[in-house]
Amino acid sequence: MAKDRLLIRGGTVITIDPSLGDFDRADVLVEDGKIVAVGPDLQVTDAELLDATDRIVLPGLVDTHRHTWQALFRNLASDWTLSHYFTGLHGTVSGLYRPEDTYAGNLIGTLEALDGGITTLLDWSHNLNTPEHADAAVTALKESGARAIFAHGCGHRHWQPVSHLPHDEDVRRVREQWFSSDDQLVTLFLAPRGNQFATLEVTERDWALARELGIRISCHAGDGDWGRNRPVAALHERGLLGPDITFVHCNTLADDELEMMAANGVSASISPDIELQMGHGFPATGRLIAAGIRPSLSIDVCCSNGGHLFGTIRATIGTQRGFDNAAAAAAGTPLVELKTTCRDALEFATIEGARACGLDSKIGSLTPGKRADIILISTDNFGMTPMNNPIGAFVYNAHPGLVDAVIVDGTIVKRDGKLVGVDSARVRRLAVEARDDILRRAESANGIRIGGGWIPEPYVATETGEEHA
């Protein structure tokens, strides 16, 4: 049988594989969805050609935590703190979602990610009020063509802290019905609330459920005040840390908790855009690295920040460089070199994302043998010419409009700057209709309105005695 071959020819290739390095000009050969060769002037005649002249060729980006369902309400929360978000999103909007709204949100949100070069998206899905909501979320992920992880995060009633409810057992059905194999483009994680939002006993049971189902865990920890109560130390005491876990945020975890994570192979996902806005605490980038954990990056609340990783990459590197320069200035010894480089930031968005998803043997670098998740960034434009430093240009100058081509598992899903085979009018119409329908059903619930002027009442916790107002 003839092999399905694709030759990406003549690009500036950044492999993110230290043994391969980078190439000013090289080709990438893909065969049956797999990268089989990377190097200059590959002699191949019987392959489909993708011209990469004036393109930077990179591994696809990985977003390790996004509440994709919120894409319908993009920018509703752009001026909110975390406590506004708990009231406005979780207390008002989330309960109004029907399964078709979840589908519409996940579809436009995942396509937005793909359009911006994110080939792997971890959909942190925590508005699953019925089994139909879960099915709708998975259906949209599958339809999008992205490599995705459906992180099952329960629904509204489970997110009333501090919860005594165990994780929704429907995840067992979801595992059986949709994810009987782990060798597919969309796979399953458990997204438990963890011991900030549920009791330690419930958390222990939820962890056991994930391990029984043989799926990884992604859990929020160290976001704002909740993280100051040493949640990771409590899990460590019970022997619950392990390499199957990613903690999201980590801002207010103590240094010794980060060391416990490192010692147990736990990975991290940081969302600096959201953390700086909503009051989670300062991004933990440098502290994580000092503890031995290179973070992955995430969008998080896509009803606040944009859904592409370029903004997050710049927020990450800018904040960390600011810390390092401030520390040097305070010590009276200017930095002789920047500790966090552009290459570091690019690795956080690629190989470290792959690691945090347990997919680093499959994706995250352009290593022959890995699946072909590849992006091409245009450089024949004013912002990228002359090209003097491809990684610096990617980190500081790139944006979704320069994502020329996207390949997922060997399939070209974006070409010449346009997603392939997507009825964008339909996707946009579904999103607007779903948003409008939710607004109609909300009537004047809690004063919800679009336009930018709605600041919800701050959240006040009751059971914990903590006030977040």
Helix, strand, coil shares of the chain, percent, nearest 5, are 40, 20, 40
Residues 198, 206 contacting (CB under 8 angstroms): yes
Q: 327 — alpha (psi -120 to 50), left (phi > 0) or beta?
A: alpha
Backbone phi and psi for residue 306, each to the nearest 5 degrees, phi listed first? -70, 160
Pick between residue 123 and residue 300 the one whose CB is nearest to Zn ion. Answer: 300
Q: Choose between 115 and 300: whose C-beta lies nearer to Zn ion.
A: 300
Whose Cβ is closer to Zn ion: residue 38's or residue 82's?
82
How near is the Cβ of 126 to Zn ion at its closest, in Å?
Answer: 8
- Tell me the CB-side half-sphere exposure of residue 424, using CA atoms within 13 A: 7
Pairing of strands 22-31, 34-39: antiparallel
* Structure tokens given for 462: 């009751």
Determine which residue in the list 300, 344, 360, 404 makes contact with Zn ion, applying CB under 5 A. 300
Is residue 63 a contact residue for Zn ion (CB under 5 A)? Answer: no
Residue 191 beta carbon to Zn ion: minimum distance, rounded to whole angstroms: 9
Q: How far is the CB of 258 from Zn ion (least distance, A)?
A: 19
Near Zn ion in 147-206, by CB under 5 A: none
Q: Of the two residues 65 and 147, which places its CB atom closer to Zn ion in the complex?
A: 65
CA 375 distance to own-chain centroid: 17
Check: CB of residue 250 under 8 Å from CB of residue 288: yes
Residue with tokens 């200059």: 40
Tell me, residue by residue from 249 to 288, as one string, x for binding to Zn ion by CB under 5 A and - for no binding.
----------------------------------------
Long-range CB pairs of 416-420 (<8 Å, 24+ gap) are 417/378, 419/111, 419/114, 419/115
Measured CA distances, 159 to 302, 356, 365 (Å) = 19, 24, 36
Contact 159, 197 (CB under 8 A): yes
Contact 96, 441 (CB under 8 A): yes
From 295-303, 307-315, 316-324, 357-365, span contacting Zn ion (CB under 5 A): 295-303
Q: Which is nearer to Zn ion, 179 or 197 (CB)?
A: 197
| CB of 1 vs Zn ion, minimal distance in Å | 44
Compute the least distance from the CB of residue 65 to Zn ion, in Å.
Answer: 6
Residues that bind Zn ion (rule: CB under 5 A) add up to a total of 1
- CA–CA separation, 54 vs 11, rounded Å? 7
Rounded CA-CA distance 314/176 in Å is 40
The stretch near Zn ion (CB under 5 A) out of 7-15, 38-46, 299-307, 372-380 is: 299-307
Q: Decide: 188 and 178 in contact? Cβ < 8 Å.
A: yes
Q: Which of residues 86-145 bind Zn ion (CB under 5 A)?
A: none
| Preceding peptide of 162 cis, ω within 30° | yes
Span interacting with Zn ion, options 51-59, 170-178, 292-300, 400-408, rule CB under 5 A: 292-300
Q: Which is nearer to Zn ion, 85 or 394 (CB)?
A: 85
Nearer to Zn ion, 116 or 222 (CB): 222
- Find the shortest distance in angstroms from Cβ 305 to Zn ion: 12
Closest approach of Zn ion to the CB of residue 248, in Å:
6
DSSP structural state of residue 299: -
Report, in Å, the least distance between residue 104 CB and Zn ion.
20
CA-CA distance, 119 to 61, in Å (whole number)? 6
The Cα 68–Cα 141 span in angstroms is 10
Q: Determine the interface stretch with Zn ion among 102-110, 205-213, 293-301, 378-386 (rule: CB under 5 A).
A: 293-301
Q: Which stretch binds Zn ion (CB under 5 A): 20-28, 296-304, 349-357, 426-434?
A: 296-304
- In angstroms, give the least distance from the CB of 261 to Zn ion: 17
Residue that is written with structure tokens 């993708």 in the block: 50
Q: How far is the CB of 249 from Zn ion (least distance, A)?
A: 7
Span interacting with Zn ion, options 22-30, 112-120, 294-302, 382-390, rule CB under 5 A: 294-302
Q: Residue 249 or 321: which CB sits closer to Zn ion?
A: 249
Binding interface with Zn ion (CB under 5 A): 300
